[in-house]
Amino acid sequence: MNHYYRKSVTELSALLQAGEVSSVELTEHFLERIKAHDEKLNSFITVCEEDALAQAEAADKKLKTGDAPALTGVPIAHKDIFCTRGIRTSCASKMLDNFISPYDATVVSKMKTAGLVMLGKTNMDEFAMGSSNETSYYGSVKNPWNLNTVPGGSSGGSAASVAARITPAATGTDTGGSIRQPAALCGITGLKPTYGRCSRFGMIAFASSLDQAGPMAKTASDCALLLNAMAGFDAKDSTSIEQDVPDYTADLAKPLQGLRIGLPGEYFARDEQGKGMHEDVEAVVKAALQQYKSMGAELIDISLPNSDLSVPAYYVVAPAECSANLSRLDGVRYGYRCDKPKDLNDLYTRSRGEAFGAEVQRRIMIGTYALSSGYYDAYYLKAQQIRQLISDDFRQAFNHVDVIMAPVTPETAFTIGEKSADPISMYLSDIYTIAVNLAGLPALSLPAGFASSSKMPVGLQIIGNHFSEAKLLNVAHQYQQQTDWHTQCPQEFE
């Protein structure tokens, strides 16, 4: 019995390059695991068995030539927000349930060029709106550590499938925490790169000024390898940054002696009602900080004074942008169309009313309201001004520290259904992740232990200055050299 599923992308790539396993064998191995386990998890919307095996065969041919790129033949899954040519791209919405994309997203085509084999498309919150993966048209995803709990969202299918070892890695997108939060709740490593680092072309837009693609995998070194393949300038995305892509694996081994870690008081504080991060989360995060201290880092108290404004500012900016982005889905050009429309207006309203779920409709309504004349200055403009203040807070902090460390989520994975009737409490679960998107910064979540009461995974967040991905990956990798949280697999999926 082979245990390829336990191996990291880095290890699988070495086995493939050495000819010790073929891509077809690996692809079959993971397709088998998907078949055996995904009924419990619901982490995939589409599995591309035939396509994957054809890609694997092509990868094996390339490997035989002796100059195949590092990731050739490694299987991966893509969040179903990335357009994939000839394959359904649903964004977990009834609206796009019948949509076969005519082209590949840049991230997808870059990963194809790098030789990665696509196993399928992962489940997510509808149009990436959510923190629990409960808003998907295809049903909730289950957290592999406890099937009664959520995996987080919106990249919940990607996180759950990596955690259950039914894919070695997956892509995700992060608009307000959607890579980091599910990575934390499922016990894997996820990186949200700097805004503009990876192309947004072909990644279905939620909030264009915040959306960013990134890798989700077991380890930081896997994320480094994957980011090498994903990142880079793209003329098809006007917000993509024209900056060289370094080799993100180059700095992984650097020692952390003298690293200055900033600890924002606001993220560790409790409010008057004693609310803040759960004490179990706090205990894990503090233990991880001690670990860093023992590795030669210095812990420095800092302040990000406008932190409490990030959730309200985000929940104006993101809905405003989504209301504009989703207006293209009107029942006319592609996607869902209602039955027998009476006239054009009926076609628009019924197609959108019947195909968008409740959370998406709520966001469109909030966003349309915030952008309407008379309210624009009071809401959208104000939120953009707050965004600047939040960016300035980080800029000040990075004058004194190299990275910032914080919790990812206030609590561990909650029970399915627990927050779905209360959108505000759902929005508040993004409290530690959202400011990073408003400021366009890179940040990473890595597994740091388990909560003593719920026994569920807890993540540590590492935030860096713009384009400091190599530093974040180095800081995370060094921790993973000293700890084994990232190697733990949920018992049912062993």
Report yes or no: 117 and 52 within 8 Å, Cβ to Cβ: yes
Looking at beta carbons only, is 79 or 352 nearer to ligand GLN? Answer: 79
Q: What are phi and psi of 460, to 5 degrees?
A: -115, 135
Report yes or no: 443 and 463 within 8 Å, Cβ to Cβ: yes
Residue 175 interacts with ligand GLN (CB under 6 A): yes or no = yes
Looking at beta carbons only, is 183 or 223 nearer to ligand GLN? Answer: 183
Residue with tokens 């989700």: 216
Instruction: 235-239: list long-range contacts, CB under 8 Å, 24+ apart.
Output: 236/106, 236/199, 236/201, 237/106, 237/199, 237/200, 237/201, 239/195, 239/196, 239/200, 239/208, 239/209
Smallest gap from Cβ 243 to ligand GLN, in A, equals: 23
Is 452 annotated as catalytic? no
Single out the catalytic residue among 13, 22, 43, 79: 79
Residue 27 interacts with ligand GLN (CB under 6 A): yes or no = no
Touching ligand GLN, residues 403-462 (CB under 6 A): 430
Q: Give residues with Cβ within 8 angstroms of 392, minimum separation 6.
A: none
Q: Kindly tell me the sign of the dihedral angle through the C-alpha atoms of 85, 87, 88, 92.
A: negative
- The conformation of residue 364, written as its DSSP 8-state character, comes to H
Interacting residue with ligand GLN among 151, 168, 177, 331 (CB under 6 A): 177
Count of chain residues binding ligand GLN (CB under 6 A)? 13
Residue 176 interacts with ligand GLN (CB under 6 A): yes or no = yes
Quote the tokens at residue 325: 């982005």
Quote the tokens at residue 378: 């009071």
Single out the catalytic residue among 158, 178, 307, 454: 178
- Part in contact with ligand GLN (CB under 6 A); list of ranges 176-184, 249-257, 329-337, 476-484: 176-184
Residue 130 interacts with ligand GLN (CB under 6 A): yes or no = yes
Single out the catalytic residue among 93, 132, 154, 445: 154
Touching ligand GLN, residues 194-233 (CB under 6 A): 206
Smallest gap from Cβ 416 to ligand GLN, in A, equals: 16
Amino acid identity, residue 302?
I
Looking at beta carbons only, is 154 or 221 nearer to ligand GLN? Answer: 154
Looking at beta carbons only, is 22 or 154 nearer to ligand GLN? Answer: 154
Q: Contact letters (x/-) for ligand GLN, 280-319, by CB under 6 A?
A: --------------------------------------x-
Looking at beta carbons only, is 177 or 464 nearer to ligand GLN? Answer: 177
Quote the tokens at residue 41: 């998890």
Looking at beta carbons only, is 22 or 325 nearer to ligand GLN? Answer: 325
Q: Give residues with Cβ within 8 angstroms of 11, minimum separation 6.
A: none
β-pair partners for 353: none
Interacting residue with ligand GLN among 129, 213, 252, 472 (CB under 6 A): 129
Looking at beta carbons only, is 158 or 178 nearer to ligand GLN? Answer: 178
d(CA 155, CA 89): 15
Smallest gap from Cβ 273 to ligand GLN, in A, equals: 23
Burial of 481 (0-12, 13-18, 19+ CB in 10 A): exposed
- Part in contact with ligand GLN (CB under 6 A); list of ranges 70-78, 122-130, 157-165, 477-485: 122-130
Residue 266 interacts with ligand GLN (CB under 6 A): yes or no = no
Smallest gap from Cβ 55 to ligand GLN, in A, equals: 28
Q: Kindly tell me the sign of the dihedral angle through the C-alpha atoms of 272, 275, 277, 282.
A: positive
Quote the tokens at residue 366: 């909030």
d(CA 217, CA 450): 18
Looking at beta carbons only, is 132 or 249 nearer to ligand GLN? Answer: 132
Q: Kindly tell me the sign of the dihedral angle through the C-alpha atoms of 127, 132, 136, 142.
A: positive
Residue 131 interacts with ligand GLN (CB under 6 A): yes or no = yes
d(CA 347, CA 357): 17
- 3-state SS class at 9: helix
Is 293 annotated as catalytic? no
Q: Contact letters (x/-) for ligand GLN, 81-120, by CB under 6 A?
A: ----------------------------------------
Report yes or no: 160 and 184 within 8 Å, Cβ to Cβ: no
Is 199 annotated as catalytic? no
Chain centroid offset of residue 425 CA: 20
Residue 174 interacts with ligand GLN (CB under 6 A): yes or no = yes
Report yes or no: 72 and 43 within 8 Å, Cβ to Cβ: no
For ligand GLN, the binding residues (CB under 6 A) are 128-131, 154, 174-178, 206, 318, 430
Residues annotated as catalytic are 79, 154, 178
